[in-house]
Amino acid sequence: MNGYRLGVDIGGTFTDFALFDEEGRSLHIHKCLTTPEDPSRAVIEGAVALLERESMNIDDLREVVHGTTLVTNAVIERKGARTGMLITEGFRDIPDMREEKRYDVFDLRITFPEPIVPRARRREVSERMRFDGTAERSPDLEAARVAVQEMVREEGIEALAICLLHAYSNPAHEEALRRMVEASFPELFVSSSAEVFPGWREFERFTTTCINAYAGPMFGRYLERIEHGLAALGFRGRLYVMSASGGTLTPPLARRLPVRVIESGPAAGARMSAVHGRALDLPNLLSFDMGGTTAKGALVREGAAMKVYALEVARTHEFKAGSGLPVRTPVIDMIEIGAGGGSIAEPDARGTIRVGPKSAGASPGPACYGQGGTQATLSDANLVLGYLDPDYFLGGDMRLDRSRAEEAIAERVAKPLGLGLERAAFGIHDMASEDVARAFRIHASERGFDYRASSMVAFGGSGPVHATRVARKLGIPRVIFPVAAGVMSAIGLLASPLAFEVALTRERFVDDLDDAQFAATFAEVERDAKAPLLAAGLHPSGITVVRRLDMHYHGQGHEIEVALPEPAFGVDGLAHLFRRRYEDLYAFAPLDAPLVVNTWKVEARAPDPGIGAHYSVGGRWSGAAAAPKGARRAWFPDLGGWVATPVYDRYALAAGNAVAGPALIEERESTVVVGPGDRVEVDSNGNLVADLEAGVHPARDADCAGDDRRSSGPGGDRAGDSSHEDIREGGP
């Protein structure tokens, strides 16, 4: 198909653009500063600049896919609408009572985020739906109208969340209230819980609904500005909005369900990892994104990023699960780790190094930024180790101060712990890598995912610096450094299809189900999942439908998701399907306990947009031969310490070129650290593919590294082998 497609991703600092020419199969990228006061301004201005740069006619722009952190930020910074809540009588305090569970049993001073809707803006409604969907008491609509009236007049609410018990089982009461509110208060943005997420567990569903209502008015106005801005440029194509599930939404749907847009940026990155994996025939992957303050991970199984229906926002302890507000919506299952370039390294109570989760942020930033930071950070360590070039940070736009980095590490880490400077710097580097590896290990083992048989896709500013080391710790043999990794999320937007997913809780014993009921329930969910795609003009034959069920043994606490193989699948096969999945996950003989179907899920998806495997990235390639652009000292403990290491310009490497470690491959946004024994090849798309030599272990230096502390380490009289302080000249 002819034409252009544009992906625009708003990040904290930069707004990234990726323009794909479908005819020429080329990708053009652009970055401009984010405009926090009105993020739509950077979107429009950046688009204009890119179109001009590429001398492109707006008429040829077929699609714009947009990813934004706006909704996440609104919840974290509490900048959403004044929101009221209608809630089943007797249950007004559910948002304050939460799960009645501590997320850390040793920390007595734990705190929780304030509920999105304060208690004073919650009104009870006399009504009751039973668990089986039968009504015990109809809603008192007139009393509810008066309550809403009061909240509009006295509290000035702009949005309303309607949250009734068992609405997933029968939404009739919520719908009756909604009709009343829409008729009497047309200016209110209204969300009802069964519409936002028809799954059980009231605290989670209600919280999700409140967040949706809270974000609705602001997000609607924002989308309008984008639409008007694009229309003013003469754009006549389609606009899509990225969701956290790895698919896109139409603007009307995004306006109605802004909660689905939370964390969509990282989802686009993980989605892109999956696309690269499919192109390279690597179906099982770890997607590893490390930036300035955090690292993010996701698992890709059989070509698709693993998904889940839970995420948390606004955590009071950034990296402690359970300390935030739960959101129930389909999302790519991300791990977040408090380790990034700005993470602060310091001695901990154990007398070892801790890296993060405290971060020096962008201001003052790492000591090497020279903006007044005195704390030692991960970037300082990577600079001292020679992995980063002080003169080529952000392509030379920013100069790093090596002496400040050395001073910070010496004062804050090396001296207090009795370590040499390089050893301390390497310790910081290695501890951050270990933290990432640990998070992947736990995340994977909780999900029955064998990381050792997988590959890794690494991106983000710090990801390529740490990737081979993390991979070696995990026993992963191959790491992909995708081309244009600095705008990975923006490219990921272009690889994400229009999709919508609905999950409905209807708890049923398998024994009590017949094929007709089974099919009817799925048909109901499927209708809701397909509706927005049909409304967007898709032909029914172009829609792919995936059906899944959450099931469990009666009495068991955790549900297991099974995917149904074909549309005609009936009740008879459920037990077998469940058992097979159970054994896959646990390698463990299951029981004869009764089986229960709990949640019915349908994902409707448009065809994958054709960014495909083969395209070129325009504008930056010199296509020169694979000669190093220079060399600098870098610290590799496996080789005994300082090594004069060749440095390559990534944009000078051509397809088929190979580089043996140790080596450093630089691009504007990051540096790939190629360790001793690693071998990197450039594939036909310009991706770097690193093969990690088997048998060279990452942590060997951790054991022997005590040696270079002979003078000051504990038990310092141990005999060592050759000195680690030698600088070997010439490299490999």
Partner 1 sequence: MSRPLASPAPLDAVSVGILWDRLVTIADEIVSALVRTSFSTIVSESYDLTVAVLDGDGELMAQGTYSLPVFMGTAPETLRHMLERFPAETLRPGDVVITNDPWHGTGHMFDVNVMRPVFRGEHIVAYVISITHLPDVGGLGFGAAGAEIYHEGLRLPICKLFEAGRRNDLLVEIVRTNVRAPDEVIGDLMANVTATAMGERMLLDFLSEHALPDFRGLSTEIRTRSERAMRERLDAMRPGTYRNRVDIEGPDGAIALAVRIEVSEGRLHADFGGTGACVRRGINVPFCYTRAMTLYTVKCLTVPELPNNGGMSAPISAVAPPGCLLNAEPPSPTGARHMIGHYVAPLVFGALAEAAPDRVQADCGMMNLLTVQGRHRNGRAISTIYFAAGGFGALRGHDGAETLPGPSNMAVVPVEVWETLTGTTIEHKRLLADSGGAGAARGGLGQEVVIRNDTGHPLTVLCMANRTEFVAQGLAGGRAGTPREHRINGRPVDPRGRLELAPGDRIALIEAGGGGYGDPRDRDPERVRRDVANGFVSPDAARREYGLEP
**CB under 8 Å, gap of 24 or more: what pairs does 620-628 form?**
620/651, 621/651, 621/686, 622/649, 622/651, 622/652, 623/652, 623/654, 624/652, 624/654, 625/652, 625/654, 625/657, 626/652, 626/653, 626/654, 626/657, 626/658, 626/659, 626/682, 627/652, 628/663
Q: 434, 550, 603, 669: which one contacts partner 1 (CB under 8 A)?
A: 434
Q: Of the candidates 2, 106, 183, 232, which one interacts with partner 1 according to CB under 8 A? A: 106
The answer to whether 345 contacts partner 1 (rule: CB under 8 A) is no
End-to-end CA distance of the chain: 48
Among 52, 55, 105, 186, binds partner 1 (CB under 8 A): 105
What x-and-dash track marks residues 257-296 binding partner 1 by CB under 8 A? Answer: ----------------------------------------
Distance CA 269, CA 456 (A): 13
State the virtual CA torsion across 348, 354, 355, 361 in degrees, nearest 10: -10
Contact segment (CB under 8 A) with partner 1 among 40-48, 108-116, 152-160, 678-686 equals: 108-116
Considering only 8, 65, 94, 249, the residue that binds partner 1 (CB under 8 A) is 94
Q: Does 336 bind partner 1 (CB under 8 A)?
A: no
Q: According to the binding rule CB under 8 A, does residue 238 interact with partner 1?
A: no
Closest contact distance (angstroms) between CB of 417 and partner 1 is 4
Tell me how far apart the alpha carbons of residues 188 and 216 are, in angstroms, rounded to a whole number: 10
Q: Which stretch binds partner 1 (CB under 8 A): 12-20, 181-189, 344-352, 648-656?
A: 344-352
Distance CA 131, CA 423 (A): 61
Q: Is 721 in the site for partner 1 (CB under 8 A)?
A: no
Interaction residues for partner 1, span 115-144 (CB under 8 A): 118-120, 128, 130-131, 136
Whole-angstrom Cα distance, residue 461 to residue 672? 10
Among 1, 2, 108, 568, binds partner 1 (CB under 8 A): 108
Query: Is residue 317 a contact residue for partner 1 (CB under 8 A)?
Result: no
Contact flag: residue 697 with partner 1 (CB under 8 A): yes
Residue 486 tokens read as 């600095």
Beta-carbon neighbour count of residue 283 at 10 Å? 15
Cβ of residue 696: shortest distance to partner 1, in angstroms? 11
Kindly state the number of chain residues that form the binding site for partner 1, as judged by CB under 8 A: 88
Query: Residues 389, 391, 394, 395: is their CA dihedral positive or negative?
Result: negative
CB of 518 to partner 1, least distance (A): 18
Whether omega for the bond prior to residue 364 falls within 30 degrees of 0, making it cis, is: yes
Give me the sign of the Cα torsion angle 138, 142, 146, 151.
positive
Element holding 240 (H helix, E strand): strand 238-242
Check residue 158 for interaction with partner 1 (CB under 8 A). Answer: no
Task: Determine if 694 is a binding residue for partner 1 (CB under 8 A).
Answer: no
Instruction: State yes or no: residue 453 binds partner 1 (CB under 8 A).
Output: no
Shortest Å distance, C-beta 49 to partner 1: 46
Among 200, 369, 459, 635, binds partner 1 (CB under 8 A): 200
- Residues in contact with partner 1, shown as a per-residue x/- string from 564 to 603 under the rule CB under 8 A: ---------------------xxxxx-xxx----------
How far is the C-alpha of 233 from the C-alpha of 225, rounded, in Å? 12
Which of 183, 232, 349, 694: binder of partner 1 (CB under 8 A)?
Answer: 349
Interatomic CA distance for residues 285 and 455, integer angstroms: 5
Residue in the block written with tokens 């499927």 = 526
Q: Which is nearer to partner 1, 348 or 391 (CB)?
A: 348
Rounding to the nearest 10 degrees, give the CA dihedral for residues 691, 694, 696, 700.
110
Nearer to partner 1 by Cβ, of 623 and 715: the residue is 715
User: Binding marks (x or -) toward partner 1, 63..82, rule CB under 8 A?
Assistant: --------------------
Q: Which stretch binds partner 1 (CB under 8 A): 41-49, 380-388, 416-424, 495-503?
A: 416-424
Laid out side by side, the sheet with 544-553 consists of 499-509, 595-605, 544-553, 560-563
